[in-house]
Amino acid sequence: MSVSGPRLVVPIDLKKKAWEQETPLHNRWHPDIPSVAEVTVGEVFRVEMVDFSGGAITNNLTAHDVKHLHPLTVTIENRSPFEHINLSMAPPTTRLVSSIDLKKKPWEQNPPLHNRWHPNIPHVATVNTAHLFRVEMVDWTGGAIRGHDSSLDVKSLDLSTVHYLSGPIRIVDDDGIPAKPGDLLAVEICNLGPLPGDEWGFTATFDRENGGGFLTDHFPCATKAIWYFEGIYAHSPQIPGVRFPGLTHPGIIGTAPSMELLNIWNERERDIEQNGVKSFKLCEVLHTRPLANLPTTKGCLLGKIEKGSSEWERIAKEAARTIPGRENGGNCDIKNLSRGAKVYLPVFVEGANLSTGDMHFSQGDGEVSFCGAIEMSGFLELKCEIIRGGMKEYLTPMGPTPLHVNPIFEIGPVEPRFSEWLVFEGISVDESGRQHYLDASVAYKRAVLNAIDYISKFGYSKEQVYLLLSCIPCEGRISGIVDAPNAVATLAIPTAIFDRDIRPKNNKVPIGPRLMRKPDVFKCTYDGNLPITKNPSDTS
């Protein structure tokens, strides 16, 4: 079962005065003031508070309420005596434009969700650039993967249904003029987090014949670990001895494509599906069927468009899957798009039609296990700005049309702070000893495999480490891409996430019961017959 989140022990009703609260407040220290709740050691609990004045100081643009506040009896009045003065009010609080009911399926939500990109998916809300707004999201599977002790839900997941996105949201300026094709949409992430009452997430690997992943030739089985959140920290009973702060972010944020851009996507992805190299050779970074995820009516959800209508049938056959990142942003899985970050998205249709989803509590660079972040439901609080003509002004097309552009973004100022890292290097030589020419994917695969084998020496299963490297805030780099024939990639792991020192020492790795890391991640059997890569030098 999933967790219910922190227990609320002191609630606040903002419509009531301080002395009217259900749980009494106090403004003195004394040993005989009775307790209002009891909590146990280790329990995560929530306490709500009024501001120090108990609401006596308001958001009116006047200082009269401050002047008349009684300094010794703070929490006296809930309204200013000068509130009748007709002054401009402060900006309104965050507007909720897309809400989620965790008891409902994705297709039952109001407003409805969608899992495709298409210019004709109707917007569900209109937002002015002056306003802060809130978007809530289901996890990317829409609740299909549960918080129980089995990975069968991962093994059998219908991947035609993902990702479930909230939106589209139409963006207009102060004059009500919508964003236009050729503009840039600057989207600032002001706040974000898990949905209250749903503070848990999961990391998984897919079965090799149903999704696979970056190391699917080494790890063909479906696996899963459950993570629980305590404020900014995450921990998992399936991967003990690890606790770390998350860098929470949306895996998907993007604008709707124009019909012209959608046709470009479908044509080029159809070409690679029909003519690309289909290889199951060992020791390469394997293709997992299909090479591209082409439009399909199976599992399709198109927001307000009614399923079964002629319009739905037409759009479902054209609409792009959300699996890869593209010119519109989309599923880029960039872990640094966190609190305070700003992303500059190209606008291809009137209103921009912004959509977002696939919330991650934490993720490592590369999200190597594919279902590899800590996936969760969540919310974003956003503010937008329209940069008129910004595509031509700031983005140079890298392709045959003005539509071949990509977003840019600013990293926010709030990140986990680590001072010590253990860095693993990989080169573009695969496990069979075969040389690849400046292949950064092979080099990164080697770096990840080197890290997995190393950390497993400290009592972890390799499946535990694989999931761990996919969701901790590790840093991946293409460190060298010019010195033929070897590309060099690195993977930096913050050492502080472990409860022991994992650095090499002038003695052997400790052994014995103290190193046992039980239980393991939840695993399914692999029932396929595709070849599995084994490290010929592995002695474990």
Decide: pTM greater than 0.75.
Answer: yes
CB 472 within 8 A of CB 418: no
- Cβ atoms of residues 115 and 138 within 8 Å: no
> What pLDDT score was predicted for residue 86?
42
pLDDT (average), residues 74-101? 59
The percent of residues above 70 in pLDDT, for the chain, comes to: 90
Q: Is the dihedral of CA 511, 515, 518, 524 positive or negative?
A: negative
pLDDT tens per residue, range 188-233: 999 999 999 999 999 999 999 899 889 999 999 999 999 999 999 9
The proportion of the chain whose per-residue pLDDT surpasses 90, expressed as a percent, equals 76
**Closest Cα to residue 301, out of 289, 288, 291, 315?**
315
pLDDT in tens, 5-59: 788 989 999 889 989 999 889 999 999 999 999 999 888 888 999 988 888 887 7
121 C-beta neighbours (distance < 10 Å), count: 23
- Give the pairing type, strands 475-480 and 329-331: unpaired
Amino acid at site 207:
D
Note the pLDDT tens digit of each residue in 256-301: 999 999 999 999 999 999 988 877 666 666 566 678 999 999 999 9
Per-residue confidence (pLDDT) for residue 203, from 0 to 100 = 98
403 and 501 in contact (C-beta within 8 Å)?
no
The residues, ordered by sequence, that sit 6+ positions from 539 with a Cβ below 8 Å of its Cβ are: none
Q: How far apart are CA 194 and CA 540, in angstroms?
A: 39
Find where tokens 């005065």 sit. 17
Mean pLDDT, all residues of the chain: 90
Please name the residue that has the structure tokens 């219910």: 4
Spatial distance between the Cα atoms of 123 and 133, rounded to a whole number of angstroms: 15
Q: How far is CA 464 from CA 122, 199, 298, in A?
A: 42, 21, 33
Query: Which has more confidence, 457 or 536?
Result: 457
Q: What is the pLDDT of residues 239-251, one digit of tens each?
A: 999 999 999 999 9
Residue 225, pLDDT score:
98
Kindly report the number of other CB atoms within 10 A of residue 175's CB atom. Answer: 7
Q: Residue 64 has what pLDDT? A: 65
Helix axes 440-455, 462-471, angle to 10 degrees: 120
With tokens 């003990």, the residue in question is: 240
Contact 244, 227 (CB under 8 A): no
